[in-house]
């Protein structure tokens, strides 16, 4: 099962660093041919970013864009008095960074330890002009993020605390998906963030998150292996906990 070389007709043209890249075909790089990849890779850097570090500091702010190779990145907004709301989570192989300027007041942080492959803004924008499919891929990712944001607006505005927590667990379960999970209905979830982050994601407090994890456990929807790992015996059961019919 030599996954690393599938589909590369002219492997000689593909940069060595890219040949070994886990997300090479799925990320935005999938839109580029060997020659373009070669040019891009001349300017790329791999970074390991440890948990809780901001991605926007250290000169890498709007200067560099990046692909997530592993880990989870969180986007959040902060109010003057300290209230905080997480407005997006990104997983490999998502693209991080904002084409065409400003990301008004959004903080980008590593939720877990993260590995990224970054490159200068100008390099990507140069490639965008010559390769329309690149812009199309970015456009599609933006549309996907918009869908997720809207799904989350429904959760924030109209679900109660228990449904919110179940929704979060379901989201993580379906995203961190380590290639397996096909056909299986049970899954062990490694929570990528601590209770405080989950609270900021759900528009709740730490205590309410904790109480409702306990509630789901007592109802038998989940098993709490340890504070960072949850076992779900039946994903459908979890899914139905994300929106109980309250009208009866």
Partner DNA sequence: CGCCTTCTTGAGGGGCGTCAAGCCCAGTGG
Partner DNA sequence: CCACTGGGCTTGACGCCCCTCAAGAAGGCG
Q: How far apart are CA 65 and CA 179, in angstroms?
A: 26
From a copy of itself, DNA, none, interface partner of 150 (C-beta below 5 to 8 A by class): a copy of itself
Measured CA distances, 156 to 47, 82, 145, 181 (Å): 34, 19, 16, 28
Among 94, 109, 162, 200, contact with DNA (rule: CB under 7 A): 162
Q: How far apart are CA 36 and CA 116, in angstroms?
A: 19
Q: How many other β-carbons are positioned within 10 Å of the β-carbon of residue 18?
A: 20
Nearest to 166 by CA among 89, 241, 87: 241
Across 208-221, b (16+ Cβ under 10 Å) vs e yields bbbebbebbeeeeb
Q: Give the HSE-up count for residue 192: Cα atoms under 13 Å, Cβ half-sphere.
A: 28
Q: How far is the CB of 210 from DNA (least distance, A)?
A: 3
Site for a copy of itself in 192-221 (CB under 8 A): 202-203
User: Which residue in the block uniquely carries the two structure tokens 């944001």?
Assistant: 149
Stretch that binds DNA, among 18-26, 68-76, 121-129, 204-212 (CB under 7 A): 204-212
Q: How far is the CB of 163 from a copy of itself (least distance, A)?
A: 10
Across 98-117, b (16+ Cβ under 10 Å) vs e yields eeeeeeeeebbbbbbebbbb
Tell me: does residue 150 bind a copy of itself (CB under 8 A): yes
From DNA, a copy of itself, none, interface partner of 149 (C-beta below 5 to 8 A by class): a copy of itself
From DNA, a copy of itself, none, interface partner of 209 (C-beta below 5 to 8 A by class): DNA
Q: How far apart are CA 219 and CA 58, in angstroms?
A: 46
Nearest to 109 by CA among 144, 176, 167, 60: 60
Q: How far is the CB of 192 from DNA (least distance, A)?
A: 11
Tell me: does residue 177 bind DNA (CB under 7 A): no
Tell me: does residue 225 bind DNA (CB under 7 A): no
Site for a copy of itself in 90-149 (CB under 8 A): 98-100, 103-104, 106, 129, 132, 135-136, 138-140, 142-143, 145-147, 149
Q: How far apart are CA 156 and CA 201, in angstroms?
A: 9
Nearer to a copy of itself, 3 or 247 (CB): 247
Number of residues counted as binding DNA (CB under 7 A): 21
Residues contributing to the site for DNA (CB under 7 A): 160-162, 194-196, 203-211, 213-214, 224, 226-228
Residues contributing to the site for a copy of itself (CB under 8 A): 75, 77, 79-85, 87-88, 98-100, 103-104, 106, 129, 132, 135-136, 138-140, 142-143, 145-147, 149-154, 156-159, 202-203, 243, 245-248
């Amino acid at each position: 099962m030599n996954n690393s070389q599938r589909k590369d007709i002219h492997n000689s043209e593909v940069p060595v660093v890219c040949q070994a890249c886990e997300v090479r075909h799925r990320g935005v790089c999938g839109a580029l041919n060997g020659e373009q990849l070669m040019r891009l890779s001349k300017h790329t850097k791999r970074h390991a970013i440890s948990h809780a570090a901001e991605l926007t500091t250290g000169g890498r702010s709007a200067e560099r864009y990046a692909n997530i190779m592993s880990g989870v990145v969180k986007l959040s907004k902060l109010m003057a008095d300290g209230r905080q709301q997480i407005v997006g989570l990104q997983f490999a192989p998502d693209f991080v960074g904002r084409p065409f300027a400003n990301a008004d007041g959004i903080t980008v942080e590593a939720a877990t330890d993260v590995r990224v492959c970054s490159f200068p803004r100008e390099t990507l924008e140069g490639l965008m002009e010559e390769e329309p499919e690149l812009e199309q891929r970015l456009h599609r990712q933006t549309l996907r993020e918009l869908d997720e944001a809207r799904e989350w607006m429904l959760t924030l505005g109209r679900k109660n605390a228990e449904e919110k927590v179940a929704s979060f667990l379901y989201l993580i379960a379906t995203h961190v998906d380590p290639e397996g999970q096909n056909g299986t209905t049970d899954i062990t979830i490694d929570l990528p963030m601590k209770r405080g982050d989950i609270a900021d994601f759900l528009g709740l407090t730490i205590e309410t998150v904790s109480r409702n994890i306990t509630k789901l456990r007592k109802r038998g929807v989940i098993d709490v292996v340890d504070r960072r790992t949850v076992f779900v015996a039946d994903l459908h059961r979890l899914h139905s906990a994300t929106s109980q019919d309250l009208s009866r």
